[in-house]
């Protein structure tokens, strides 16, 4: 629901309601841990023809075969131990928001002061109903699961103002145009009694005329942990560990949620220029520097970090190392999500656009590139900060690649409803780190880097617009947006 040009013609509003639901029905055919133990025991009643539990064979399961060539005598045992587990996960989100704005709260010599404010209410729920076998820990290769029924409510209030200081109406030397923006957002999460208040400031300055624009933005941000990170059922995986000199490539690791997690914090700065020279009509150049830092990033520690804390005698809340009866090896590791990580990224965005109007249509060339100067990654509070730009993180914990260069170039032709667009995308290469600290006798190449080559993607799109009425022409404002293509059909 929305309306504009209200009251004195400068006010408007929009309000909305949104609901979405995702249902995940997982059907798994696997083996029952309890039944698997029974088919290995020749003395079990299931192999006794006189027992009511008899499964049709007197021969216990033979595990010493090749799965590609099934052993005939195993058929009855395999059929008995095989189960079908059905688990259900359901997530929902409902959002209501209302925004009110005015383009002229009051007038100053440079023009109208703009103001927008509003509020939002959000309700999220997550439900996980594992199969009974999963709840009892009866699935081979998995620990006991748990049912989840959790949710949260949160509400937010926000406001933003645009304040013109100079404009063509009151320009002076060196200040053809100057305006500032200021915004703030408050959000309260009722599930764990946390709240945040973050600011944002921006500046746009044209010293001489519309040809040169200088712009800058600074702000803080946050991310509330997801319901999965806060309340989800445990998940089981396998990770490499080193314990008392013994390397184990597949240690059972149980990852648990953590309802004590706090919101992540972030800080972002960007600043740059946009140049649209009059002597080359249709040309736009832009350069923007940016620096982004995230603190308290929600992450699950590597299994080896939990082992090191266990050996040092200071496990974090919720962590546990379960040893075998002899105490010489690890049976399982229990870890939890934690606010532990830190990331800092710094780079530069560059853009070049040229628009050429001809009797045979409009040609638009747009090229944008991003250079990642630095990416500092600290996975947890106890791990070292590492520079990963042009590389990947350790594959044992995180396999993302952090590319030095990324770019996209488009060439577009529009004429009388015809639109032909060709696109080239470039992603730079990077060094992929494999398992660090791997036993060379088991993984001879485990500590070597693998170089992933740069890639190019090409695509062409063609379309025809059957609109029979000419649309209203619009003109983009230089210096506001990095989205350069603003082409509409004209005469």
- Average the pLDDT over 48-55 and give the result: 93
For residue 90, is pLDDT > 50? yes
Q: Which residues of 314-331 are buried (b: 16+ CB within 10 A; e: fewer)?
A: eebeebebeeeeeeeebe
H-assigned helices in 297-418? 303-312
| CB-based contacts of 482, cutoff 8 Å, min separation 6 | 286, 288, 349, 351, 368
What's the whole-model pTM score? 0.75
What are the two backbone dihedrals, phi and then psi, of residue 339, each rounded to the nearest 5 degrees?
-80, 90
- Within the chain, what is the greatest distance between any pair of CA atoms? 105
For residue 395, is pLDDT > 50? no
For residue 491, is pLDDT > 50? no
In angstroms, rounded to a whole number, what is the distance separating the alpha carbons of residues 235 and 256?
7
For residue 209, is pLDDT > 70? yes
Output the pLDDT for position 483: 47
Which single residue is written with the structure tokens 């200071």?
Answer: 314
pLDDT band at residue 27 under the 50/70/90 scheme: very high
Q: Tell me which DSSP letter residue 228 carries.
A: H
Is there a contact between 487 and 355 (Cβ–Cβ < 8 Å)? yes
For residue 275, is pLDDT > 90? yes
Output the pLDDT for position 341: 80
pLDDT digits (tens, 9 = 90+) for 123-158: 999 999 999 998 888 988 777 888 999 999 999 999
pLDDT band at residue 66 under the 50/70/90 scheme: confident
For residue 481, is pLDDT > 80? no
Provide the mean pLDDT of the chain.
88
* Torsion angle of C-alpha atoms 1, 164, 273, 182, degrees rounded to 10: -60
Is there a contact between 250 and 242 (Cβ–Cβ < 8 Å)? no
> In 3D, which of 14, 254, 51, 276 has the Cα closest to residue 145?
254
pLDDT digits (tens, 9 = 90+) for 323-370: 988 888 898 999 999 888 889 999 999 999 999 999 999 999 999 999
CB count, 10 Å around CB of 147?
12
In angstroms, rounded to a whole number, what is the distance separating the alpha carbons of residues 49 and 78?
18
Is there a contact between 282 and 356 (Cβ–Cβ < 8 Å)? yes
In angstroms, rounded to a whole number, what is the distance separating the alpha carbons of residues 176 and 182?
21
> In 3D, which of 266, 283, 119 has the Cα closest to residue 185?
119
* Torsion angle of C-alpha atoms 417, 364, 216, 275, degrees rounded to 10: -130
For residue 15, is pLDDT > 70? yes
Which single residue is written with the structure tokens 């190019």?
Answer: 456
Q: Tell me which DSSP letter residue 342 carries.
A: E
| CB-based contacts of 290, cutoff 8 Å, min separation 6 | 268, 269, 270, 271, 345, 346, 347, 348, 349
Output the pLDDT for position 443: 52
- Average the pLDDT over 107-119 and give the result: 95
pLDDT band at residue 470 under the 50/70/90 scheme: low
For residue 12, is pLDDT > 70? yes
Q: Which residue has the higher pLDDT, 482 or 262?
A: 262
CA 126 distance to own-chain centroid: 19
Least confident window among 198-212, 261-275, 442-456:
442-456
Is there a contact between 404 and 426 (Cβ–Cβ < 8 Å)? no
For residue 486, is pLDDT > 50? no
> In 3D, which of 259, 420, 261, 255 has the Cα closest to residue 334?
255
- Average the pLDDT over 452-476 and give the result: 81
Which single residue is written with the structure tokens 């990095």?
Answer: 482
Q: Which residue has the higher pLDDT, 461 or 312?
A: 461
With a pLDDT cut of 90, the percent of the chain lying above it is: 59
For residue 487, is pLDDT > 80? no
For residue 65, is pLDDT > 90? no
Output the pLDDT for position 393: 64
Name the 3-class secondary structure at 82.
strand
């Amino acid at each position: 629901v929305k309306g504009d040009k209200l009251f004195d013609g400068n006010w408007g509003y929009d309000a909305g309601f949104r609901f979405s639901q995702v249902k995940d029905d997982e059907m798994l055919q696997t083996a029952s841990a309890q039944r698997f133990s029974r088919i290995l025991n020749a003395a079990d009643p299931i192999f006794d023809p006189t027992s009511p539990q008899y499964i049709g064979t007197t021969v216990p399961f033979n595990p010493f075969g090749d799965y590609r060539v099934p052993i005939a005598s195993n058929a009855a045992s395999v059929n008995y131990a095989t189960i079908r587990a059905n688990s259900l996960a359901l997530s929902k989100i409902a959002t209501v928001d209302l925004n009110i704005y005015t383009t002229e709260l009051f007038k100053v010599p440079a023009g109208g002061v703009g103001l927008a404010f509003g509020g939002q209410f959000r309700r999220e729920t997550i439900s996980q109903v594992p199969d009974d076998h999963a709840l009892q820990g009866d699935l081979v290769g998995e620990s006991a699961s748990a049912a989840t029924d959790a949710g949260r409510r949160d509400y937010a209030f926000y406001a933003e103002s645009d304040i013109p200081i100079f404009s063509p109406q009151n320009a002076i030397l060196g200040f053809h145009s100057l305006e500032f923006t200021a915004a703030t957002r408050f959000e309260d999460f009722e599930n764990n009694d946390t709240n945040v208040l973050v600011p944002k400031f921006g500046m746009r300055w044209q010293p001489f005329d519309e040809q040169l624009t200088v712009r800058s933005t600074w702000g803080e941000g946050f991310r509330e942990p997801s319901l999965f990170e806060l309340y989800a059922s445990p998940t089981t995986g396998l990770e490499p560990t080193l314990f008392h000199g013994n390397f184990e490539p597949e240690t059972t690791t149980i990852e648990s949620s953590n309802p004590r997690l706090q919101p992540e914090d972030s800080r972002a700065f960007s600043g740059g220029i946009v140049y649209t020279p009059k002597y080359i009509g249709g040309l736009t150049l832009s350069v923007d520097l940016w620096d982004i830092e995230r603190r308290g990033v929600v992450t699950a520690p590597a299994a080896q970090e939990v082992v090191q804390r266990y050996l040092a005698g200071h496990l974090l809340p919720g962590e546990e190392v379960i040893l075998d009866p002899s105490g010489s090896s690890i049976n399982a590791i229990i870890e939890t999500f934690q606010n532990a990580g830190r990331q800092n990224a710094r780079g530069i965005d560059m853009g070049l656009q040229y628009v050429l109007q001809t009797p045979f249509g409009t040609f638009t060339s747009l090229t944008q590139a991003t250079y990642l100067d630095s990416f500092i990654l600290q996975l947890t509070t106890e791990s070292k900060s590492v520079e990963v730009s042009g590389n990947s993180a350790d594959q044992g914990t995180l396999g993302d690649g952090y590319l030095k260069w990324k770019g996209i170039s488009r060439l577009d032709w529009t004429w009388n409803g015809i639109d032909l667009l060709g696109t080239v995308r470039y992603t730079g290469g990077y060094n992929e780190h494999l398992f660090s600290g791997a036993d060379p006798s088991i993984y001879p190449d485990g500590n070597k880097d693998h170089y992933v080559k740069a890639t190019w993607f090409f695509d062409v799109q063609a379309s025809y617009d059957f609109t029979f009425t000419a649309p209203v022409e619009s003109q983009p404002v230089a210096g506001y947006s990095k989205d350069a293509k603003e082409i509409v059909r004209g005469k």
